Chains A and B, each alone.
Chain A
Amino acid sequence: MSAPAVFFPRTVAEAVELLDAYDGSAKLVAGGTALTLMLQQRLVSPEALVSLRDVPGLGGTSVEGGVVRLGALVTHTQAARHALVRAHLPVAATAFSLVGNAQVRAAATVGGVLAEADYASDPPAALLALDAEVLAVGPGGERRMPIAEFLVGFYQTTLAPEEIVTRVDVPALPPTAGSAYLKHTSRSHEDRPCVGVAAVVRSDGDGTCRDLRVAVGAACDRPLRLVDVEAGAVGSPLDDAAVEAVATAYAERVDPVADVRGSAWYRREMVQVWVRRAVHAARRAAEHTTNDQREGAVL
């Protein structure tokens, strides 16, 4: 084992070339928060480190055609504070704002957290609830994957070793939607989530649910969405009993992990509690937005 070679390519294409040349034995460095830990604990021993530090164009946030584009090098702090994210993807802004601590958030990136695919993480669940798409560039050019297909298991994605996440496209929530991300830590506040739940709710004026999305993070190998359960709630009022039924369905169908943050039993219990709480919170937020809009209409 020797110290890895370190590269600072100037373009995405150069970075892809380097990754390709190392054929799976190079690691890409963005914020470096997760990779540094893995290197220190010798969980990985790459031959080369390819830094994205000098690659321009990956750090922007914009909105186009109702889709918020988050550059891969946007940091968690930037994502949490950006006006576009807060306005159109509040649930993502919250999730990014709750990761680790200020030091970690200042370094960790949007692309990094998705490519790492750590199950015990906040942003992936929020982005899954938002139906985000991941853009990646490889030797064959660019491709686009729904996040549900991108995240496939514990620390596993469909990203090829020579591919680079360049952007995440997230459809803006309609203004009438309410959303919430709730993080449950079972140890320190700065710990990774034991369970994190993102929920999006949109209802008609009469309370009939028009859209429900619930993504549970950190409870199993990858964020969990049960689209049939979500769809089942649409068309009727999202009252307390309906919310409880959704929470129960997630708790029953999750295949929970056991780790230092909680046993499988505890995780299942927490899925029930936090799905309930997150959907309630999203419903309340939806009611507020609806009320705000009615008031706006009067004015």
Chain B
Amino acid sequence: MLDARDRVTGRTPFVINHEVPGMLHCRLVRSTAAHAAVRAVRTAEAAAQRGVVAVVTGADLTARGDMAMLFGPVLLDQPVLAVDVVRYIGEPVAAVVAEDPAAAERAAALVEVDYEHKAAVFDADEAFAPGAPLLFPEAPERDPSFADVTLRADHERNVCNTFTVVRGDVEAGFAAAELVVDDVYESPAAGAVPLETHAVVADARPDRLTVWSSTQTPYITRRQLALMFGLPLNRVRVIVPALGGGFGAKAYATVEPIAAALSRVVGAPVRLHLTREEEFVTMTKHAMRVRLRTGVMRDGRIVAREATAIYNAGAYAVISPRKVMFGAYGLNGPYAIPNVRTEAHAVLTNTPPAGAYRGFAINQCAWAYENQLDEIAERLGLDPVEIRRINLLRDGDEFCTGEKLHHLRFTELLDSAAERIGWGTEDPVQVGDVVRAKGVSCVIEGTITPSTSTAAVRLNPDGSVDVLTSSVEMGQGIRPALAGAVARRLGVDPELVQVSYVDTDLTPYDQQTTASRSMYSMGGATGRAADDVLGQVRELAADLLEADPADVVVTNGRAHVAGIEGDGIPIGDVVARSRVGNVLGEGTLVTEGGLDPFTGQGIGSVHWHQSVGAAEVEVDLATGRVTVLRYAGGVFAGEVIDPVGAQHQCEGCLVFGVGNALLEELVFDQGQLVNGSLADYMVPALEDMPASHDFELVEDREQGDVHGLGEPALPPIAPAIGNAVYRATGVRLHSLPISPEKVLRGLRERRDAARRDETVADETVEVHS
């Protein structure tokens, strides 16, 4: 398999190992104030240290006048280094450039910053309330090229965008409903915790900028840097080797503008590699709180849903303006609900910026609506699997966006997962202090739409094949997957196929490696490029075979006249004998769509990820501790290209899901992260994982789509676990993570309530006797 040998022998290229002659090292000075005016930055002592080349502040960069100070993928709101004001604890205020990392670190500790503190706001609901401190008294400008996001910003309420989905008549729906359930659900901020922290080496020359970056978005980063420095796109070169994990945290520029600006200041290449502690405050998962109101009929049909979600965007917008779209339609879940009004706001607060995170806004939604659906089922006396069967979207149903959906396999996925977990058998089961039970959940998630991928496939005269792509290999296995897909298309051995890393000077445009889009979009583009190669090969082979091109076909890597297989020419030989040097095929895949931000109507996704999960848990009733015993997941995959890689992606989701469900939470105290290290922030260890798991990947090869698998398995996990915990304990938690302490408190409250009921019952009896 492509990559395997390099990975196990430690030769996979990473930015953190990249060295450029004359490279200098950077250490950032970060804000200790949550919201403050920067009155002075004293750098003299740091600058005087041995080995220090420069100490640079935002004011220094501004004074140069040769670069824009603000960047951001949608809104130009984030300063390269703070200018006049800081908006979160951990925001870069100054940078030390030195000959070695130790000198940079020593000097950085000597920089002193005077802050004049301002009122700060950390909770998104508080920031959204009238009279809250404002992060941006004036509206930031837009990045002109990010046109597909319509902004409904409201600066008076710290809102960087709002998205609303309206369908049917929600008031009438609630009026008709026989039961209405109304609750608030919460998900905390979390860290993606890639093994490799953000890293960049930037080499700025007067007319050219080269950046080696650990980014998931090479072309967007190129555009952001070009805009910042006023350079044509082709004067900014972004090179991306393998990433040690991204999970969304490495989407959109973060450290690149800083290193590039510093390189311009010092006239030498500058390397910036974040520490683990810095990583935790660089990009986070949105904390989210949603009020969710659902109306149902006695038979279990959902007839109305109204929801308002507040996503805590942190101090800068980053991609939150797009996230609210996923957040608004995501709250509908995979159910046919006739009357809907769901709304999501992204609200700025004085906490580290929240960005993309595996499951992009959908995890938070699923936690809420799948949690509530079990509660509804219980109140109606329905089985949790049954209430889902009643409401799941089926072929031809319209989603809340008005799209008519096809190729829906939810019911089949759910039935299979329920069967594999042993649904319907005795549940819960208690032995001593320990009780076991099961839970299920179902989730729908879109992929980024519209979107564009382009690729080139090159056939060499020896039959070997190069795939030129700007999809980023971040451990998800896109390179071996694309190699397998192209090899299959060309009918050659996958060992003959090489897949490039990303270099924007050389590899064609791709929008970004996020949203589980690569196997669909880039897989589509490389497939078309391979078809282009085959078309050219047929033309060339027709000359060699003295046949009509229309009669030439390529089978198993050989070009031959249709019906005469033995006579064929290996496609590499076609290249050699035709003396064309190489055959270069191009492919482009552009998807169309988009939703109206006021109604949510339109095309939300070129295809929809369908995913279910079933968990069996064990709860220690004396301690509240939850152990996930088994997990059965199911995802509609379209067509699986790399079966091992596909399973690995689902297993990776399981690690994230168990972490989100039971462990992970960034804890802030007045804007100060208190568990920002791996000793204090918990990601799951091997022993925290279920002893057994299996993921079913349902395929539909006739339909022909290949769905990405980076994320779909993730969002059902936490609600499936939460629902199982409820069935085990009767404790329904509305906030993640499901900590032992929350479970125990819930158990105690239930016990106390039961005692009160007994007392009341006793008294009642006395009165009547």
Contact = CB atoms under 8 A, between A and B. Distances in A.
Interface of A: 1-3, 37, 40-42, 101, 184-191, 194, 260, 262-263, 266, 269-270, 273
B679 A37 contact: yes
Contacts of A194: 740
B679 A188 contact: no
Contacts of A37: 677, 679
B688 A188 contact: yes
Contacts of B677: 37, 40-41
Interface in B680-708: 680, 682-685, 687-688
Contacts of B740: 186, 194, 262, 266
Given A2-B106, A37-B677, A188-B663, A266 B744 contact: yes
B667 A260 contact: yes
B275 interface: yes
A270 B622 CA distance: 8
A194 B682 CA distance: 13
A72 B674 CA distance: 32
A260 B674 contact: yes
Please name the 7 residue pairs, one residue from A and one from B, whose CB atoms are nearest each other, closest first.
Answer: A189-B687, A190-B685, A187-B682, A266-B741, A188-B682, A273-B622, A186-B740
Contacts of B687: 189-190
Interface residues of B, number: 28
B464 interface: no
Given A1-B106, A3-B102, A270 B688 contact: no
Nearest to B620: A273
Nearest to A194: B740
B739 interface: yes
A270 to B, nearest CB: 6
A37 B677 CA distance: 9
A276 to B, nearest CB: 9
B751 to A, nearest CB: 12
B555 interface: no
Contacts of A41: 277, 677
A270 B106 CA distance: 44
Interface in B585-632: 622-623, 625
B682 A191 contact: yes
B109 interface: yes
A262 B741 contact: yes
Given A40-B277, A41-B677, A188 B683 contact: yes
A189 B685 contact: yes
Interface string B268-286: 0000000111000000000
B275 A40 contact: yes
Contacts, number: 55
Nearest to A189: B687
B150 interface: no
A3 B688 CA distance: 38
B675 interface: yes
B102 A263 contact: no
Contacts of B102: 3
A1 B682 contact: no
For B674, B675, B688, the residue with the greatest tally of chain A CB atoms inside 10 Å of its CB is B688
Contacts of A262: 740-741
5 contacts: A40-B276, A41-B677, A190-B685, A263-B741, A270-B623
A160 B434 CA distance: 47
For A42, A187, A266, the residue with the greatest tally of chain B CB atoms inside 10 Å of its CB is A187
A40 B676 CA distance: 12
B741 A186 contact: yes
A263 B740 CA distance: 11
Given A190-B687, A190-B688, 5 more contacts: A3-B106, A37-B679, A185-B625, A186-B740, A269-B744
Contacts of B739: 186-187
Nearest to B659: A188
Contacts of B667: 260
A252 B37 CA distance: 49
Contacts of A266: 740-741, 744
B106 A260 contact: no
A1 B109 contact: yes
A58 to B, nearest CB: 26
A47 B674 CA distance: 27
A32 to B, nearest CB: 14
Interface string B342-381: 0000000000000000000000000000000000000000
Contact of B685 (A40, A101, A270): A101
A270 B110 CA distance: 45
Contacts of B688: 188-190
Contacts of A1: 106, 109-110
A260 B674 CA distance: 9
Nearest to B678: A37
A221 B662 CA distance: 27
Contacts of B683: 188
A3 B101 CA distance: 12
Nearest to A266: B741
Nearest to B627: A189
Given A37-B679, A262-B741, A270-B623, A187 B277 contact: no
Contact of B625 (A42, A186, A269): A186
Nearest to B676: A41
Nearest to A101: B685
Interface string B106-123: 100110000000000000
A270 B276 CA distance: 32
A186 to B, nearest CB: 5
